[in-house]
Amino acid sequence: MTITAPITVLKTPEMSVVARKFMVSEEVKTMTTATALDRNTDSPAASRTASHGIDRAVERLAVALLRWSRTHAARRVLDHSEHSLRLQQRNSELQREADALRITQRMGL
């Protein structure tokens, strides 16, 4: 997709001594964006025909793997309360280990 729009640019004359005089000129620049096109028809890819055979099986497998990975990732995400609980448990475990080490050091073991 190409969008064209006039852009006004102020230019100084080539041989001008006074820098306060400006000439207004219009310059057209284009902005280009990427769009999905079908390889065979150069038309938008939404008008594809249904795939058959091995292509259909591969597409279904790919979609199934994508859905599985999304649900797997969603299960691994911790909410704030669960994260706080796990952090508290880990900190208390580290504190107990440090206390046990101090006790053994005091006893000279």
Element (H, E) at 42: none
Place of tokens 């769009």: 35
pLDDT interval class at 1 (50, 70, 90): low
Is the pLDDT at 75 greater than 90? The verdict is no
Q: Which domain holds residue 102?
A: 51-109
Residue 63 falls inside a structural domain: yes
pTM equals 0.33
Residue 80 falls inside a structural domain: yes
Instruction: State how many domains the chain has.
Output: 1
Please state the length of the chain.
109
Residue 100 falls inside a structural domain: yes
Segment 15-70, tens digit of pLDDT:
555 555 555 566 656 666 666 655 655 555 555 677 788 989 999 999 999 999 98
Residue 64 falls inside a structural domain: yes
Q: How far is CA 63 from CA 41, 45, 67, 69, 92, in A?
A: 25, 18, 6, 10, 43
How many Cβ atoms sit within 10 Å of the Cβ of residue 81?
8
Place of tokens 């099986």: 57
Spatial CA neighbour of 36 closest among 45, 47, 25, 28: 45
